[in-house]
Amino acid sequence: MDTFRAAWLIACRDLRSYFRDRTGMLLGFALPIALVGVFGFLSTFLYGEGGAMGRASLWVADEDQSESSARFLQLLADAETVSLHPAVGEDAVTESELRQKIIDGEIHHGLVLTAGFGQTMEQGGLPTLRMLRDPGRTMEDMMIQIGIMQAYFGVTEGNAWPAMMGRQMRQLGMDDDMAKQVESFSESTLQLMRTVFPKSEEEPEAKNEELAGFDMQNFFTQMVPMEEEDFSPPDRPKMVTWMQAQSISGITVMMLMFGLLACGVSLIREREEGTMQRLLASPAPRSAILWGKFMFTAIVGFIQLTVLLTFGETVFHVDTFRDPATLLALMVCTTLAITSFGMLIASWAQTQKQAEGVSTLLILMMSCLGGAWFPLQAFDVPVYVHYAMRSTLTHWAISGFQGMFWHQQSWLHPAMLLDLSVLLGFSVLAACGSLLLFRRRLDA
């Protein structure tokens, strides 16, 4: 009997058992779908639509209750980097409640407008704000500061500008005389600007809106003459965010690994249940046992990948099927790489427990390093982490899918070719390794 036919028989036997266990099979499909769904959905908030930053939530206790403080809060609510709490209509909170909420971990930033805020402001001073914060949340800190700066600037209609500049210079170590000069210079330029662009009496609302729309994120970049151009591949779907494409790629790859682990382990079950003796004693070539498991695992993997990607397409509109050739190449290479990985573990391990333990650890580690959980590639990491990332097959699979979803690379694109060939190379190496291990075990 030739190896292919024997392997095919063994694969069909496994498929029959696999699809017979309805509950197990449905779980095998439903869990990955659920996870891809959750991660895809959550990543929308993580980086916002269209790849922009999301908003950081900021809680405020207004103990001043003046007209100025109300206007300040309104401007803060309009700022793009902050989502303000309590929202209109919700119960106001006090400073001590804010402190407790931070300790309890319910919130991470609490702003207190102390009594006298409005009065100081009317006298032309800079009222001090009190920020209560969870020191671990540095990421949000930046966004909140941007929002506050915008509102602060806006609430004084720009009048605080000279004082803000003076304060900044003093902070930077400038002596008082110099700082005062900066203040008066700022004052003069402000006056000059007011003269050249007189405040329109008829349209006070428009002025306000303009201020509210003041974009601190771009404020400093606008000081330098710079033209900005956005580049996106022409076909990239509008709804997809970078983070979402990353999440869908990452979780799909990770779940595929878990799904295929169960199939690879069927090699070990064969041994534990004694049926391996019959397979070995049969006239079928012995390597057909391994290839049969390989076929079975790869077929299930391909089906799972199709289901997961179809799900991603249906719910998140990542435009999966735009380029069928690239999609197919990626699916085949990814499935092969993960299948060989599963076979390698299965032929190395003595028992099912060993196989599951080791591969769970490896899958989680590779998923983390490969960027399935958070986009590690996007950060500047030490060089050894960089190499660790690139040694995982998840990295290349995710990079391939991300390349297809976000960068719209075709399979002929050099970066995509690299991803595909690394995956294929990994498959060949792991398959040879598992064949060696399998042979060695037979040589008893």
Partner 1 sequence: MNQAPLLQVNHLRYAYEEREAVRDLSFSVYPGETLGFLGPNGAGKTTTLSCVCGLLRKWQGSMQFRGQEFAPGKSSKQRALLGVVPQELALYGDLTAQENLQFFGRLAGLRGDKLRQAVSRGLDLAGLSSRARDRVSTFSGGMKRRLNIAAGDLHSPELLLLDEPTAGVDPQSRNHIFETLMELKEEGRTLIYTTHYMEEAERLCNRILIVHEGALAASGSAQELAQSLDLPDANLEQVFLQLTGRSLRD
Rg (CA), the chain: 30
Among 138, 218, 277, 350, binds partner 1 (CB under 8 A): 277
The 109-113 sheet, strands edge to edge: 82-85, 56-62, 109-113, 130-133
Pairing state of beta strands 82-85 and 56-62? parallel
Is residue 439 a contact residue for partner 1 (CB under 8 A)?
no
- Cα–Cα distance list, 310 to 55, 65, 254, 285, 303 (Å): 30, 53, 16, 38, 10
Q: Which is nearer to partner 1, 264 or 375 (CB)?
A: 264
Among 278, 317, 353, 441, binds partner 1 (CB under 8 A): 278
Q: Which is nearer to partner 1, 9 or 212 (CB)?
A: 9
**DSSP 8-class letter at 115:** T
Instruction: Specify which residues 61 forms β-bridges with.
Output: 112
**267 contacts 342 by C-beta, under 8 angstroms:** no
Alpha helices in 198-286 (DSSP H): 204-212, 216-219, 242-264, 266-272, 275-281
Is residue 283 a contact residue for partner 1 (CB under 8 A)?
yes
Pick the piece of the chain touching partner 1 (CB under 8 A) from 8-16, 79-87, 155-163, 189-197. 8-16
**112 contacts 64 by C-beta, under 8 angstroms:** no
Is residue 1 a contact residue for partner 1 (CB under 8 A)?
yes
236-275: which residues touch partner 1 (CB under 8 A)?
273-275
Least separation in angstroms between CB 12 and partner 1: 8
Is residue 390 a contact residue for partner 1 (CB under 8 A)?
no
Distance (Å, whole) CA 63 – CA 65:
6
Binding mask 284-313 for partner 1 (x = CB under 8 A): xxx---------------------------
Pick the piece of the chain touching partner 1 (CB under 8 A) from 278-286, 330-338, 376-384, 403-411. 278-286
Pick the piece of the chain touching partner 1 (CB under 8 A) from 43-51, 159-167, 171-179, 281-289. 281-289
**36 contacts 318 by C-beta, under 8 angstroms:** no
Pick the piece of the chain touching partner 1 (CB under 8 A) from 15-23, 104-112, 116-124, 242-250. 15-23
Among 66, 217, 282, 352, binds partner 1 (CB under 8 A): 282
Among 42, 280, 325, 378, binds partner 1 (CB under 8 A): 280
Q: Which is nearer to partner 1, 317 or 441 (CB)?
A: 441
Which 3 state secondary structure label does DSSP give 374?
coil
Alpha helices in 273-319 (DSSP H): 275-281, 287-316
How many positions of this chain bind partner 1 (CB under 8 A)?
26
Phi, then psi, of 377 in degrees rounded to 5: -60, -25
Least separation in angstroms between CB 281 and partner 1: 4
**109 contacts 131 by C-beta, under 8 angstroms:** yes
Host H or E run for residue 112: strand 109-113
Is residue 168 a contact residue for partner 1 (CB under 8 A)?
no
> Could you identify the residue written with the tokens 């990626």?
330
Is residue 189 a contact residue for partner 1 (CB under 8 A)?
no
Is residue 352 a contact residue for partner 1 (CB under 8 A)?
no
Q: Which is nearer to partner 1, 205 or 443 (CB)?
A: 443
Pick the piece of the chain touching partner 1 (CB under 8 A) from 3-11, 107-115, 299-307, 325-333. 3-11
Distance (Å, whole) CA 430 – CA 422:
12
- Cα–Cα distance list, 94 to 59, 112, 208 (Å): 10, 8, 29
20-59: which residues touch partner 1 (CB under 8 A)?
20-21
Is residue 429 a contact residue for partner 1 (CB under 8 A)?
no
Is residue 279 a contact residue for partner 1 (CB under 8 A)?
yes
Residues of this chain that bind partner 1 (CB under 8 A): 1, 6, 9-10, 13, 16-17, 20-21, 273-286, 442-444
